[in-house]
Amino acid sequence: MKNCKRLILSILFLMCMGWLPLVNGQELKEAVLPEKDASQFVNITDVVPDVILEIRYFGTYNFVGKRIAGYLQPTALLTKRAADSLRAVSDDVMKMGYRLKIYDAYRPQMAVDHFVRWASDIPDTLMRRYFYPEVDKSLLFVQDYIAAKSGHTRGSTVDLTLFDMTTEKEVDMGGTFDWFGVESHPDFGGNPETGKYTGKASPAGRTITEEQFRNRMILRAAMMRHGFKPIDSEWWHFTLKDEPFPSTYFEFPVKEL
């Protein structure tokens, strides 16, 4: 009886982690193990030599406050198809006086698992004032800031911003990468479909300027012109529409290939 209870609890845990999803609400399908083959990936800098890398999860300035599991070198990887499309984006924004600056690209499953463990450790709020001062850490799963699966792990998603070659500074987007809050949403301060600025404030009373909203739209438009799609919650996050591995999650570490 005790062994049976343990089995049921184990299955429920795996379901919550996304490793044993339900099929038709009843049957359990076999867990999909993360793929370890990196042969279809490239170093982004080999394909897009003009990018700037600031790999946040290799360092300690991130929402966890520690180097994240699986980041062995401060480099960035993508599938070959996604990297080729990103090269087109880079060529595009270079004509406007910008370079691309990358915070994260391919993310191994072990890193996502690290995020899940951290989010479950409620007392660990080392970096709260920098990234989630108005969000109760116990709600990070409920509000979808942390999940057991990430599009990054499929290898065709990138987190990035613009770098101004004239000022030699990051373009002011009115908010930091990985900020947990409505201020990170692409529609904060305006309508991303029309490009119209509204200046609407967040519940905390924060706003962004018209220039900051316009800067977000420059990045968004360039990415979308070359086959990347945005998401509703992060202005910096884009996934290749025709990603080559839409249902494969990879596990190999981030290091030079």
**CA-based torsion, 216, 217, 223, 229: positive or negative:** positive
Q: Which residues pair with residue 169 across a beta bridge?
A: 164
Give the integer Cα–Cα distance in Å for 218 and 225: 11
Residue 201 has pLDDT above 70, yes or no: yes
Angle between helical axes of 210-225 and 80-94 (0-180°, round to 10): 130
Contacts with 61 (C-beta within 8 Å, 6 or more apart), sequence order:
130
Specify the pLDDT at position 34.
82
* Cα dihedral 145/76/88/180 (nearest 10): 20
Backbone dihedral region of 189: left (phi > 0), alpha (psi from -120 to 50 degrees) or beta? Answer: left
Q: Tell me if residue 210 is catalytic.
A: no
Is the model's pLDDT at 18 over the cut of 50? no
Confidence grade of residue 158 (pLDDT, cut at 50, 70, 90): very high
What pTM value is reported for the model? 0.87
Residue 235 has pLDDT above 60, yes or no: yes
Catalytic residue among 54, 183, 234, 251: 234
How confident is the model over 28-87, as pLDDT tens digits? 333 457 899 999 999 999 999 999 999 999 999 999 999 999 999 999 999 999 999 999
